């Protein structure tokens, strides 16, 4: 078996990389397990130094890594460069703040001295997606490795070059052999790796079905798991919103990475009083997006990552229109070569329409009209997902009050939902459980051990 790297902009095969043999997989698992006890005993200062070196390598090789990313999954090159920079920032953040997050905590109790210490679990398997092929990995790896764990990466099968490049970053930064390994295996072998006694925990960013399978396997083995799954984030626009700002950020939030993001705004819940004004401005801005070669710095809308994903998205759009939604612009594949889909807006999306209940993972915005603030909140929470959400109003106190009522892991007021190393990130409901990033993220894969001394 081989993993094919196919450029979605033109359908050409960029590279083919062979899958691991059973012996190669066994060697990688053995290497990670052997490295674990030595790595956990390494000084925290040295682990910080190596993470800083990884950040430096990311920046040194940024252009090559960005181009690789664009050729493998179609991300516009300007966004790819930004992703490499964010990955370097994540490494630097944990190198600077990690020692404080991992420091012992003294607790007052009936003991002469009692404290909580944070110790690594062992080897953590990461099952990662293609849409942010560097950042998704580094936001797991930076805290997990700094805490003293070793890491195994099972990356998405359509980004094999990125998967191997990430391993090379850690190797070239000086991390000991086995501390981070990329596993070139198909999804069918993930269950066996989770079940392997040399693996202590698993984290997955991906689809809801994949999350259910990973959680079931980890649960059966009584192993820690963390899931970051899909989202159908609400973007609530109230009658007192700054429309210019809301429209500008709506375009970025929906169409960044060609709309292929879990935390992209997907349901635009607009109160009736300003619905027409918002939609008119939104349509103009969406139609101005430049679609084209993702290697061109002027391109803002690249191809979707795979043809099957585009076909699935278009079927959701076709069904939604048949169920009563109205096409405002786009809503069909782009002509010509490559896996392109037009920047699209669906209006009058209501319950019973696929675009109302399902995640549209691509460049399609769904407009849902609400009578007022209360109905907007009800619509926002009327979903199985709970990853992020945003509120747009000139009244920041009103925005905070509404943000507190949204059923999600992150709620932003007058800002698009984004991940930030300084802030916890994760979801509730069918969007998963656990938190990445910040202090909470590094504590997901440690043993918070109580020590009591008379």
Contacting residues for 222 by C-beta, under 8 A, at least 6 apart = none
* Distance (Å, whole) CA 373 – CA 276: 17
Closest to 263 (Cα-Cα) out of 439, 69, 427, 438: 427
List Cα–Cα distances, 94 to 66, 127, 224, 299, in angstroms: 23, 21, 22, 33
d(CA 330, CA 336): 15
Q: Are 119 and 40 within 8 A, CB to CB? A: yes
Range list of β-strands (E), 199-292? 201-205, 224-228, 233-237, 265-271
Q: What is the largest CA-CA distance in the chain?
A: 75
- Can you read off the two tokens belonging to residue 454? 């008379």
Q: Is 358 a catalytic residue?
A: no
Q: What is the 3-state secondary structure (H, E, C) of 370-383?
A: ECCHHHHHHHHHCC
Closest CA to 398 of 235, 265, 233, 238: 238
Burial of 87 (0-12, 13-18, 19+ CB in 10 A): buried
The residue from 48, 91, 162, 262 that is catalytic is: 262
Residue 16 is among the residues annotated as catalytic for this protein: no
Long-range contacts, stretch 108-111, CB < 8 angstroms, 24+ apart = 109/452, 111/452, 111/453, 111/454
Question: How big is the chain, counted in residues?
Answer: 454
Candidate list 228, 358, 436, 444, residue with the active-site label: 228
Residue 185 zone, left/alpha/beta (φ > 0; ψ -120 to 50; rest): beta
Of 166, 177, 378, the closest CA to residue 271 belongs to 378
Structure tokens at 350: 């209501």
Please identify every residue annotated as catalytic: 228, 262
């Amino acid at each position: 078996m081989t993993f094919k790297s196919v450029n979605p902009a033109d359908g050409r095969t960029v590279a083919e990389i062979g899958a691991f043999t059973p012996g190669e997989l066994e060697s990688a698992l053995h290497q990670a397990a052997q490295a674990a006890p030595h790595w956990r005993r390494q000084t925290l200062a040295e682990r910080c130094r190596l993470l800083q070196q990884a950040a430096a390598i990311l920046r040194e090789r940024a252009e090559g890594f960005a181009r690789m990313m664009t050729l493998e999954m179609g991300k516009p090159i300007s966004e790819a460069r930004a992703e490499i920079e964010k990955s370097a920032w994540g490494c630097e953040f944990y190198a600077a703040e990690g020692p404080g997050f991992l420091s012992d905590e003294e607790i007052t109790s009936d003991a002469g001295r009692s404290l909580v210490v944070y110790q690594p679990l062992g080897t953590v398997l990461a099952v990662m997606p293609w849409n942010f092929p560097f950042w998704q990995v580094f936001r797991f790896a930076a805290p997990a490795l700094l805490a003293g764990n070793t890491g195994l990466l099972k990356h998405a099968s359509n980004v094999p070059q990125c998967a191997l490049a990430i391993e090379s970053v850690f190797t070239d930064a000086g991390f000991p052999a086995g501390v981070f390994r990329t596993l070139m295996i198909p999804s069918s072998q993930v269950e066996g790796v989770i079940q392997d006694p040399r693996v202590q925990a698993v984290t997955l960013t991906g689809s809801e079905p994949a999350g259910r399978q990973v959680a079931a396997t980890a649960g059966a083995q009584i192993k820690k798991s963390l899931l970051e799954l899909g989202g159908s984030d609400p973007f609530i626009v109230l009658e007192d919103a700054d429309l210019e700002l809301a429209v500008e950020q709506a375009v970025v939030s929906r169409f960044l990475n060609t709309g292929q993001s879990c935390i992209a705004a997907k349901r635009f819940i607009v109160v009736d009083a300003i619905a027409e004004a918002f939609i008119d401005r939104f349509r103009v801005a969406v139609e101005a997006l430049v679609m084209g070669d993702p290697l061109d710095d002027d391109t803002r809308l690249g191809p979707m990552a795979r043809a099957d994903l585009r076909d699935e998205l278009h079927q959701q759009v076709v069904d939604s229109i048949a169920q009563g939604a109205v096409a405002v612009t786009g809503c069909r594949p782009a002509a010509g070569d490559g896996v392109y889909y037009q920047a699209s807006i669906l209006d009058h999306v209501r319950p019973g329409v696929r675009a109302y209940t399902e995640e549209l993972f691509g460049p399609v915005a769904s407009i849902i009209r609400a009578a007022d603030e209360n109905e907007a909140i009800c619509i926002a929470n009327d979903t199985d997902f709970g990853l992020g959400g945003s509120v747009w109003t000139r009244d920041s106190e009103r925005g905070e009050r509404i943000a507190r009522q949204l059923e999600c892991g992150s709620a932003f007021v007058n800002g698009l939902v984004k991940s930030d190393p300084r802030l916890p990130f994760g979801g509730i409901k069918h969007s998963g459980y656990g938190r990445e990033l910040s202090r909470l993220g590094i504590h997901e894969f440690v043993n918070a051990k109580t020590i009591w001394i008379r």
